[in-house]
Amino acid sequence: MATRTVIPFGPQHPVLPEPIHLDLVVEDEKVVEAIPSIGFIHRGLEKLVEKKDFTEFVFVAERICGICSFIHGQSYCQGIEAIMGLEVPPRAHYLRTIWGELSRIHSHLLWLGLMADAMGFESLFMHSWRVRERVLNIIEATTGGRVIFGSCKVGGVRRDIDEPAMQKLLAELTEVERETREIVHVFINDDTVKHRLCGVGVLPHDEAYKLGCVGPTLRASGWAQDTRKLGYAAFNELTFQPITRTAGDCYARCAVRCDEIFQSVDLIRQAAAKIPAGDIAVKVVGNPNGEYFVRVEQPRGEVIYYLKGNGTKNLQRFRVRTPTFANIPALVKTLQGCNLADVPILILTIDPCISCTER
């Protein structure tokens, strides 16, 4: 038997923008075991719910993550609205859908840039983030924020998008789509990229499900599971099918995210065409009393919010299961047997968000 060596990977590593630690047990250049360690920046935000008014806590929920911030706020609001039986105006549902899909586009473009950077493809990294900047500009123009939108509230949304702004958004989105196609062409067809991603970190179909994977990580192994199909927000009135691949490798996970960018563009166009006129919020009266599990599709996959109110201004319990948390067991499994040089790429393909995980 070859000598086994334990190589610490992280919590500070060039490929990791946030801290996660893995003890990699290697035999020569092969990883035989990976033991994860998290919790370096655990913030205890779940407990903060006991001290914040439930209508104000949406600001905390949005700050769980700087990438899918809006969707965190949306998930929280949907939970409170379900408990209190609030009927959110249809226009607010459509606006939430548009901002949620813009979040998905900029998140996937961010990930494409990080992936290009990890492969040493610096020009591709810069182009990905250049296009992402255009998406952030759209978000800033419609919400006033680039990272924290602050536009979602219990009962609806705080800001509207008027018709001229919507047309400007759609025109800009057309440019984003055109430029993204050029970038995605490289990710999908370039020999260097394929050489680094194809056949690496294969997550078999059945194993992806048993390991509790979610989002692009699950769909790249052939599962057409997308929480948006539950029909929350305006998704029950929009036409789309989950993007899937069957290979289950790093390339498949990359391809799913590439296609989801164009799917999100299409969903925004559908929403813009169908958005009804009307109010954007309803008045909230009383306090939440009851419990509800919210399921929403973030860029990295299904997020679960458990909210429990006891009739006071403060919730009794706020619990978040983030998609990265659900994908860590699969990461540990796929690292077993991979080459040491592939570890950074493999970790990136689950699109880890430690900020979410350390809520």
Residues of this chain that bind other proteins (CB under 8 A): 35-40, 42, 44, 46-47, 50-51, 53, 82, 209-212, 225, 227, 229-232, 236, 292-293, 295, 302, 304, 306, 308, 310, 312-314, 316-317, 319, 321, 325-326, 328-330
CA dist 277 and 30 (Å) reads 59
Q: What is the dihedral of CA 265, 92, 76, 67, to 10 degrees?
A: 30
| Nearest CA among 66, 22, 15, 20 for reference residue 42 | 20
Whether the Cβ atoms of residue 112 and residue 258 lie closer than 8 Å to each other: yes
Q: Where are the alpha helices (DSSP H) in 275-353?
A: 323-335, 343-348
45 versus 165: smaller Cβ distance to other proteins? 45
Output the smallest distance, CB 304 to other proteins, in A.
5
Residue appearing with tokens 């391809």? 255
168 versus 295: smaller Cβ distance to other proteins? 295
167 versus 310: smaller Cβ distance to other proteins? 310
262 versus 292: smaller Cβ distance to other proteins? 292
Whether the Cβ atoms of residue 38 and residue 349 lie closer than 8 Å to each other: no
145 versus 204: smaller Cβ distance to other proteins? 204
40 versus 262: smaller Cβ distance to other proteins? 40
φ and ψ of 20, to 5 deg: -140, 145
DSSP 309: E
Whether the Cβ atoms of residue 156 and residue 88 lie closer than 8 Å to each other: yes
Q: Give bridge partners of residue 306 from the DSSP assignment.
A: 293, 319
CA dist 228 and 15 (Å) reads 30
Output the smallest distance, CB 53 to other proteins, in A.
7
CA dist 243 and 251 (Å) reads 14
Output the smallest distance, CB 86 to other proteins, in A.
11
Output the smallest distance, CB 200 to other proteins, in A.
22
87 versus 191: smaller Cβ distance to other proteins? 87
141 versus 230: smaller Cβ distance to other proteins? 230
Output the smallest distance, CB 234 to other proteins, in A.
10
Output the smallest distance, CB 78 to other proteins, in A.
9
The gap from C-alpha 26 to its chain's centroid, in whole angstroms, comes to: 31
Q: Where are the alpha helices (DSSP H) in the chain?
A: 45-48, 57-62, 69-84, 90-118, 122-143, 163-189, 191-197, 205-210, 215-219, 250-274, 323-335, 343-348, 354-357
Output the smallest distance, CB 229 to other proteins, in A.
6
Residue appearing with tokens 């719910």? 49
Output the smallest distance, CB 82 to other proteins, in A.
5
98 versus 330: smaller Cβ distance to other proteins? 330
Cα-based angle 119, 33, 301 (whole degrees, multiple of 5): 60
Output the smallest distance, CB 156 to other proteins, in A.
15
